[in-house]
Amino acid sequence: MLNFRNSNILFIGLLALLIAANFVYAIPVYVYIILGCVYLSRLFYGCYHVGSNFFIPIVCSIKTQKKIIALSFDDGPDAINTPNILQLLKNNNAKATFFCIGSKIEENKAILQQTYDEGHIIGNHSFSHQFWFDMLSKNEMIAELAMTDEVISKVIDKTPKLFRPPYGVTNPNLAKAIVDGKYTPVGWSVRSLDTVIKDEQKLLKKVINKLKPGAVFLFHDTSATTLAILPAFLKYVKSNGYEIARLDEMLNLQAYA
């Protein structure tokens, strides 16, 4: 697999060959430019595709023939949508994983406690979820994750081990922070895009078309559109013989440290 380390070795090796060949042949400048563009394209793909395992292995799904899926919700707790989503999950006897933003917990402690008490998993989704999170240093990232662990632990008396990168973006600094913090990074295999798609029928069609054994669905409990289509989605899942499992159980992961 061409991960970050192997890509660097390959790029340096090819660059060295070109430099050596240049002593014998006149290597055009555009060849170096093409090589650099290919390398940068690979880095970009590795950063922005959570399932690429480019910088660090990330669990995104499971290969199975069993009709089983897992649901996950990012960016909460949300004072309005999260309680309603919890009620829908309870009505359908379904468990999910909620990757929470630390800065939102203080004013939503009761919702976080309810989420945990009803059997759902609480995961770490950074403290600020700021746009420039992936530009932070390793130590700054570690501090963000630690702050989120602290506020979660104060509410549910458990320290999360599962971490989902904000925006699904990874890089060398985040990979080091994950390893140093002894987290298990978790991605997804189905990205609903519910923060972008506002048309309920379009969103519902998108997610039901992606239904397959072992899939991990990414929703957001900040999305009113997700709340609107969730009853129909849960009904479709069950009518097609699928079981909704807790993510840690389906992927065989340890949820808490």
List residues with catalytic annotation. 74, 220
CA distance 192 to 207: 6
CA distance 54 to 42: 9
Under 8 Å between Cβ of 247 and 97: yes
Residue 124's nearest CA partner among 46, 183, 38 is 183
Instruction: Retrieve residue 226's tokens.
Output: 């997700």
CA distance 54 to 60: 13
3-state helix, strand, coil in the chain (%, to 5): 50, 15, 35
Residue 165's nearest CA partner among 240, 72, 235, 257 is 72
DSSP 125: -
DSSP 25: S
Under 8 Å between Cβ of 63 and 39: no
DSSP 56: S
